[in-house]
Amino acid sequence: MPLTRNDLARLDAADPLAGHRDAFDLPEGVIYLDGNSLGAMPRSVPGRMSRTLGTEWRTGLIRSWRGPEGWMTLPHRVGDAIAGLIGAQAGEVVVADSTSVNLFKLLAAALAMRPDRRTILTEADNFPTDIYMAQGLARLLGDRAHLKVAKRADLAASLDDDTAVLTLTHVDYRTAEIHDMAGLTRRAHDKGALVLWDLAHSAGAVPVDLNGAHADLAVGCGYKYLNGGPGAPAYLFVARRHQDELTQPLSGWLGHEAPFAFEPGYRPASGIARALCGTPPVLSLSALEEGVATVAAAGMPALRAKSMALTQRFIELVEQECPGLTLFSPRDAERRGSQVSFRHPRAEAVMEGLIAEGVIGDLRMPDVLRFGFAPLYLRFVDLWDAVAVLKRVATAIDARGAAAS
Amino acid sequence: MPLTRNDLARLDAADPLAGHRDAFDLPEGVIYLDGNSLGAMPRSVPGRMSRTLGTEWRTGLIRSWRGPEGWMTLPHRVGDAIAGLIGAQAGEVVVADSTSVNLFKLLAAALAMRPDRRTILTEADNFPTDIYMAQGLARLLGDRAHLKVAKRADLAASLDDDTAVLTLTHVDYRTAEIHDMAGLTRRAHDKGALVLWDLAHSAGAVPVDLNGAHADLAVGCGYKYLNGGPGAPAYLFVARRHQDELTQPLSGWLGHEAPFAFEPGYRPASGIARALCGTPPVLSLSALEEGVATVAAAGMPALRAKSMALTQRFIELVEQECPGLTLFSPRDAERRGSQVSFRHPRAEAVMEGLIAEGVIGDLRMPDVLRFGFAPLYLRFVDLWDAVAVLKRVATAIDARGAAAS
């Protein structure tokens, strides 16, 4: 029996997260299936920004750095809020810099923790910037580091006695396939290696249990499912057991034990603060705090349940309505994050057509249409409406292709 | 003949920059002598932030990255605006990351450009985070890099055949003493070394002519005299002649020639873009654009002229009214940036007293009172009013000290 729009409306009526959509200010005429690239704006952000500008910057000026609610505490406060979403404890996560910069810090730290090893192991389909950063570090270190890039299926077998750190993105940015975090971490530990997880496509949509998986290190991004705004600062996790030995090369003053003592030599701060470097972008960081709060308010179990239902229904609908598209994501919802990708031979034209009609997904060249499902603000009927447009656009493009051939 | 408040009021009446004060939203009851730590808020920022939030994030969503006015162009657009303030050309400056992170990138790049040399030379009184970052890089590189820290007077003599890069802060963060940029750059070049200037305490208050000085590399900060807001992103300069050979280790996707091609290998972008790493914090970056515009609107010659007059009158007034304070900055205005520091044996108590009465400067331990003079929004009468409070506070503290001894 084919799915109908009424079936989807019934799912919305029963959705325990339906009310959370009101926490976002969504534009008219758009079905937004790209919350995995840039989350929608929480309604609380303009008010928060008014306070940050008016009370903190304008009136408080330099005085706003200090005090229990001051800007100095923001990286830790927001980090602690994120910790609650990824299976970490307070004091294990801090917000800083960009995901790429944080990856560099922690890859270098991991090599320093395994001084008799030189291999950074990653997978060929890791998010490119993660690979680029590892390449940059390996180039800088010359013969003291070596980047090994393995196929996904060969990862565990590629771990060896020279592997200092295995670095992987938990949820694949194209297919949404989820790595077995606990299993791979155990395999790496069995070989004496550390593991660094990139949670960019996980946090806020897919449950992560860093401490449950006995993870060592992690980084992640603030502007996707955490709804922190364009280019929101990133975060990093260092398991408490590693913090005292953490040596990271971007040893800026905010990672110093006494940043305002202006000592001539760097002394790493105790705890996660030693992973900080320079002064954080407070305006962007304040918006991130609002975004993280939208996720925390819903709770990860409910978000995961809705995310799985959304992606499942979307796959069913696309396969029902658009036979020219081929699923590129895992069919098993347990193995799938919160995006769904399909291949189409004229994907670029299809995505252009979708965006022109207000259905916003994105394209991963050459032929992947990627759709993200932010469970906080998407409705099930949005799936129907998006697929109706997709059907019309793809049918027209397929017809033009047939006519031309 | 002692200076009077009327003398200062007359200077305000004749000040060609007086009208620029209206471009800032200044709090009541405060005389702000810390614009060298965090610039005041331009009046245009809340409106700009409304557009960035409402039009760009809320409505445009992911689409706001693209196009000639899109977020992708912001780091370059703001970089070009800063270039005009520091003697650089369009395409030589880009906004990215923090000053500390940018320093790390360019120090590593400088070592790579001088592969037969290993010394980073700096001065003992450089801003601590600059030293910490060099320490972090040197530690990471082991015997391939060496940090040499010389006294200011010994810098030129410390250049030798192993010096890859001399890195200095143009204006000293405590004394405001200005380095001879052209002279030191020439001395370094004569020895085959590169020079990396930190412009944190210069840009927006002190004229900088990077290309006139034949400078190689520079970094700087957005939140001081550029009025970019708390933790505003930083910038970096790479002279055009070095751009094609620039290899920096934080090789993130935004520095890739084709960031959206998702290629497996890093290929540096042509031009200054290769100095980029991760996604920039757009909200903070948008505010920075407004801040830079306030400086550009005034022009550096007028700003320097007023800055020199402000610091000169402040020194005269303090020496006239507060004999217990000892000048710690150069007396010659040509050698002095836009701050003035004085020493006082009970500096901490004095600064606490000043701040309690709304005169905001800062303290550099153990005994330095530092006052910054942002020529865009300070009036000459503010000097009188600040020194009146300083006299009262210092006199009371000196009296308590005398009574206790």
Q: How many CB atoms lie within 10 A of CB B246?
A: 21
Interchain contact, B98 vs A233, CB within 8 Å: no
Tell me the per-residue pLDDT of B117-127, one tens digit each, with 9 for 90 and over.
999 999 999 99
Q: What percent of chain B has pLDDT over 90?
A: 95
Residue B40 in any domain: the answer is no
Interchain contact, B97 vs A97, CB within 8 Å: yes
Residue A125 in any domain: the answer is yes
What is the average per-residue pLDDT within B23-31? Answer: 97
Q: Taking 90 as the threshold, does the pLDDT of residue B1 lie above it?
A: no
Whether residue B281 sits in one domain with residue B306: no
Interchain contact, B135 vs A59, CB within 8 Å: no
Query: Domain end: A297, A314, A338, which one?
Result: A297
Instruction: Place B405 in a pLDDT band, splitting at 50, 70 and 90.
Output: low
Tell me the per-residue pLDDT of B282-325, one tens digit each, with 9 for 90 and over.
999 999 999 999 999 999 999 999 999 999 999 999 999 999 99
Tell me the per-residue pLDDT of A122-137, one tens digit each, with 9 for 90 and over.
999 999 999 999 999 9
Residue B365 in any domain: the answer is yes
Whether residue B350 sits in one domain with residue B267: no
**Does A152 touch chain B if contact means CB atoms closer than 8 Å?**
no
How many angstroms separate the CA atoms of A49 and B229, rounded? 12
The whole-number pLDDT of residue A56 equals 98
Whether residue A316 sits in one domain with residue A269: no
Is A262 among the residues known to form the active site? no
Whether residue B189 sits in one domain with residue B306: no
What is the average per-residue pLDDT within A296-314? Answer: 97
Contacts of B98 in chain A (CB under 8 A): 97, 252, 277-279
The whole-number pLDDT of residue B402 equals 79
Whether residue A264 sits in one domain with residue A378: no
Amino acid found at B150: A
* Residue pair B165/B134 in contact by the 8 Å Cβ criterion: no
Sign for the pseudo-dihedral over CA of A31, A35, A38, A40: positive
The whole-number pLDDT of residue A403 equals 80
SS3 A210: coil
Interchain contact, B252 vs A129, CB within 8 Å: yes
How many angstroms separate the CA atoms of A391 and A369, rounded? 13
Whether residue B250 sits in one domain with residue B136: yes
DSSP string, B12-43: HHT-TTGGGGGGB-PPTT-EE--TTTSPPPBT
Residue B42 in any domain: the answer is no
ipTM entry:
0.97
Q: How many CB atoms lie within 10 A of CB B398?
A: 17
* Residue pair B357/B393 in contact by the 8 Å Cβ criterion: yes
**Does B388 touch chain A if contact means CB atoms closer than 8 Å?**
no
**Does A267 touch chain B if contact means CB atoms closer than 8 Å?**
no
Residue B41 in any domain: the answer is no
The whole-number pLDDT of residue B115 equals 97
Whether residue A221 sits in one domain with residue A350: no
| Total tally of structural domains belonging to chain A | 2
Residues paired with residue A165 on neighbouring β-strands, in sequence order: A120, A194
Residue B368 in any domain: the answer is yes
SS3 B76: helix
Whether residue B238 sits in one domain with residue B228: yes
How many angstroms separate the CA atoms of A289 and A299, rounded? 16
Q: What percent of chain B has pLDDT over 70?
A: 100
Catalytic residue selected from A127, A173, A235, A342: A127
Residue in chain B lying closest to A49 (CA)? B49
Whether residue A71 sits in one domain with residue A211: yes
Q: How many CB atoms lie within 10 A of CB B68?
A: 7
Backbone angles phi, psi at B165, to 5 degrees: -150, 135
Q: Taking 90 as the threshold, does the pLDDT of residue A401 lie above it?
A: no
Tell me the per-residue pLDDT of B97-108, one tens digit each, with 9 for 90 and over.
999 999 999 999
Whether residue A338 sits in one domain with residue A252: no
Residues paired with residue A268 on neighbouring β-strands, in sequence order: A256
Whether residue B323 sits in one domain with residue B287: no
Which residue in the set A30, A101, A253 is minimally distant from B132, CB to CB? A253
Per-chain mean pLDDT for chain B: 97
Amino acid found at B331: R
Tell me the per-residue pLDDT of B133-160, one tens digit each, with 9 for 90 and over.
999 999 999 999 999 999 999 999 999 9
Whether residue A336 sits in one domain with residue A237: no
Query: Domain end: A297, A328, A358, which one?
Result: A297
Residue B131 in any domain: the answer is yes
**Where on the phi/psi map is residue A302: left (φ > 0), alpha (ψ -120 to 50), or beta?**
alpha
Tell me the per-residue pLDDT of A200-239, one tens digit each, with 9 for 90 and over.
999 999 999 999 999 999 999 999 999 999 999 999 999 9
Residue in chain B lying closest to A365 (CA)? B261
HSE-up of A126 (CA within 13 Å, CB side)?
31
Cβ-Cβ pairs closer than 8 A, A with B, add up to 254
Check which CATH number belongs to the domain holding A391 and give it.
3.90.1150.10
Is A97 among the residues known to form the active site? no
SS3 B316: helix
Shortest alpha-carbon distance between residue A320 and chain B (Å)? 28
The whole-number pLDDT of residue B337 equals 98
* Residues in B 322-381 with any Cβ partner in A closer than 8 A: 355, 360, 362, 364-365
How many angstroms separate the CA atoms of A276 and B109, rounded? 22
Q: Which residues constitute the domain of residue B11? A: 5-32+299-404
Distances (CA, A) of A297 to A19, A92, B361: 11, 21, 41
Question: Choosing among A36, A129, A248, which should be mutated to test the B contact, i.e. which has the most B CBs within 10 A?
Answer: A129
* Residue pair B185/B215 in contact by the 8 Å Cβ criterion: yes
The whole-number pLDDT of residue A402 equals 78
**Where on the phi/psi map is residue A350: left (φ > 0), alpha (ψ -120 to 50), or beta?**
alpha
Backbone angles phi, psi at A165, to 5 degrees: -150, 135
How many angstroms separate the CA atoms of B396 and A65, rounded? 28
Tell me the per-residue pLDDT of A76-127, one tens digit each, with 9 for 90 and over.
999 999 999 999 999 999 999 999 999 999 999 999 999 999 999 999 999 9
Check which CATH number belongs to the domain holding A219 and give it.
3.40.640.10
Angle at B33 between CA B31 and CA B39, to 5 degrees: 105
**Does B264 touch chain A if contact means CB atoms closer than 8 Å?**
yes
The whole-number pLDDT of residue A67 equals 87
The whole-number pLDDT of residue A405 equals 65
In which residue are the tokens 């090789």 written? Answer: B251
Contacts of A59 in chain B (CB under 8 A): 27
DSSP string, A83-102: HTTTT--TTSEEE-S-HHHH
**Does B320 touch chain A if contact means CB atoms closer than 8 Å?**
no
Tell me the per-residue pLDDT of B349-393, one tens digit each, with 9 for 90 and over.
999 999 999 999 999 888 999 999 999 999 999 999 999 999 999
**Does A63 touch chain B if contact means CB atoms closer than 8 Å?**
yes
Query: Domain end: B277, B297, B317, which one?
Result: B297
Tell me the per-residue pLDDT of B240-268, one tens digit each, with 9 for 90 and over.
999 999 999 999 999 999 998 889 899 99
How many angstroms separate the CA atoms of B21 and B133, rounded? 36
Residue A124 in any domain: the answer is yes
